[in-house]
């Protein structure tokens, strides 16, 4: 349930309410909004009486959370969540640009990529170290040796880095080397991995599984959030459909849908959604226009020799073209984002009135 509390409540009255809830063993999540405070009560182990809660000073309303995901729901947190990674803000007015190779392949390749991505105004450098491959005979990632290469290249050019974590053990191994942990589509429902990531203090980018429904996607986010880590970034990377000309189908619909039902930022990944470089630019622009908080695109110094996902990686000049095209709509996208953000937040707050 959600307890809506007036912001004029005194500190002692608020404390009294909180200790009552704790006494009842309620798991609570507090959100301080501009006009109201919201206390989310999660789980069903507590024995809370709605009629008793409403009698507390400052409590305006007690409403049930309708969705099965709770902490991820927009109801619980009307304001959009903004996740800060160094100087980069994910979920704010400016969409975030993440780019870099599918896989880190050598020290030289990642340094070359970092230099070029920084030059082209990218905010976050990507590079897979541990790779989930469909075939056991394909390149499985450079492994641990690549971690300092990625971190140092990023650091040198002022770029925070993101890389995929596939196993619980790797959380610790990667901790000092990455700024954002990526959970891949194949691990979206690896619940034990998600729970462990929920205990870290680093942002997690959770990619949508190839056949995951909206509800399953947000329930996976909930696994991370419920452990105390509220820095969850969602990523739409295409779903499996009957379409045969592209690797997956970018589900544009889920972007505005997520915005309606959740406060979490969502990034669009046109590389894995299409699997083909000729579709990357239009789908990136479509994703951003639909409200995505940024994009993640695979870029390689020479995609023809890439050890993974060669067909979908852009070379440096193709990526420059993406940036050039994005600049044409950048201003309008930001104006639209600010407008939509206000509208959605207003609607979500008024449902708490
Ligand atoms: C990747 O980002 O390289 C990757 C493997 O993505 P996904 O998990 O979306 O397939
Ligand atoms: Mn890839």
pLDDT tens for the chain, 353 residues long, are: 999 999 889 999 999 999 999 998 888 998 887 778 999 998 766 678 889 999 999 999 999 888 899 999 999 999 999 999 999 999 999 999 999 999 999 999 999 999 999 999 999 999 999 999 999 999 999 999 999 999 999 999 999 999 999 999 999 999 999 999 999 999 999 999 999 999 999 999 999 999 999 999 999 999 999 999 999 999 999 999 999 999 999 999 999 999 999 999 999 999 999 999 999 999 999 999 999 999 999 999 999 999 999 999 999 999 999 999 999 999 999 999 999 999 999 998 888 87
How far, in Å, is the centroid of ligand 1 from the Cα of 345?
31
Residues 182 and 268 in one domain: yes
The CB-side HSE value for 28 (13 A sphere, CA atoms) comes to: 21
90 and 37 in a single domain? The answer is: no
* Residue nearest to ligand 1 atom 9, measured at CA: 185
Gap between the Cα atoms of 76 and 84, Å rounded: 21
**What phi and psi, each to the nearest 5 degrees, are found at residue 233?**
-115, 130
Say yes or no: 46 and 91 in one domain.
Answer: no
Spacing, Cα 58 to ligand 2 middle (Å): 51
Which ligand ends up closest to the CA of 269? 1
Q: How far does the centroid of ligand 1 lie from the alpha carbon of residue 57, in Å?
A: 50
CATH code, domain carrying 277:
3.20.20.70
Instruction: Please answer whether residues 188 and 208 qualify as being in contact, where contact means their C-beta atoms are separated by less than 8 angstroms.
Output: yes
Tell me how far the alpha carbon of residue 67 lies from the centroid of ligand 2, in angstroms. 32
Tell the residue nearest (CA) to atom 1 of ligand 1.
102
Domain of residue 274 covers 83-347
Ligand closest to the CA atom of residue 131? 1
Indicate the pTM of the whole model.
Answer: 0.95
- In this structure, the residues whose C-beta lies within 6 A of any atom of ligand 1 are 102, 128, 132, 184-186, 207, 237, 272
Count: domains in the chain: 2
**Torsion of the alpha carbons at 96, 101, 104 and 105, rounded to the nearest 10:** -170
Same domain, 89 and 140: yes
Residue 72 lies in a domain: no
Residue ranges near ligand 2 (ion) with Cβ within 5 Å: 102, 309
């Amino acid at each position: 349930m959600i307890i809506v509390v007036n912001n004029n409540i005194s500190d002692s009255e608020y404390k009294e309410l909180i200790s009552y809830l704790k006494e009842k063993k309620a798991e609570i999540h507090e959100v301080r909004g501009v006009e109201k405070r919201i206390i989310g009560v999660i789980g069903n182990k507590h024995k809370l009486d709605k009629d008793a809660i409403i009698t507390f000073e400052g409590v305006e309303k007690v409403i049930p959370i309708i969705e099965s995901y709770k902490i991820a729901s927009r109801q619980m947190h009307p304001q959009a969540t903004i996740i800060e990674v160094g100087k980069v803000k994910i979920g704010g007015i400016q969409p975030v640009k993440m780019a870099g190779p599918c896989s880190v392949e050598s020290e030289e390749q990642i340094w070359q990529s970092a230099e070029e991505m920084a030059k082209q105004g990218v905010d976050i450098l990507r590079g897979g170290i541990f790779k989930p491959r469909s075939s056991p005979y394909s390149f499985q990632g450079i492994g641990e040796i690549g971690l300092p290469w990625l971190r140092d290249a990023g650091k040198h050019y002022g770029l925070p880095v993101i890389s995929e974590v596939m196993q619980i053990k790797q959380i610790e191994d990667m901790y000092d080397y990455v700024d954002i942990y990526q959970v891949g589509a194949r691990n979206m429902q690896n619940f034990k991995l998600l729970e462990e990531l929920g205990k870290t203090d680093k942002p997690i980018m959770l990619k949508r599984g190839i056949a995951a429904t909206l509800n399953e996607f947000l329930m996976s986010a909930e696994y991370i959030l419920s452990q105390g880590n509220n820095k969850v970034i969602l990523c739409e990377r295409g779903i499996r459909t009957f379409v045969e000309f592209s690797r997956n189908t970018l589900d544009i619909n889920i972007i505005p849908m997520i915005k309606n039902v959740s406060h979490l930022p969502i990034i669009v990944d046109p590389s894995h959604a299409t699997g083909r470089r000729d579709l990357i630019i239009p789908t990136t622009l479509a994703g951003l226009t639909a409200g995505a908080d940024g994009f993640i695109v695979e870029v390689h110094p020479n995609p023809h020799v890439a050890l993974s996902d060669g067909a979908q990686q852009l070379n440096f000049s193709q990526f420059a073209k993406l940036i050039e095209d994005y600049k044409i709509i950048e201003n309008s996208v930001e104006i639209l984002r600010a407008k939509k953000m206000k509208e959605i937040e207003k609607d979500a707050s008024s449902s708490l009135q």
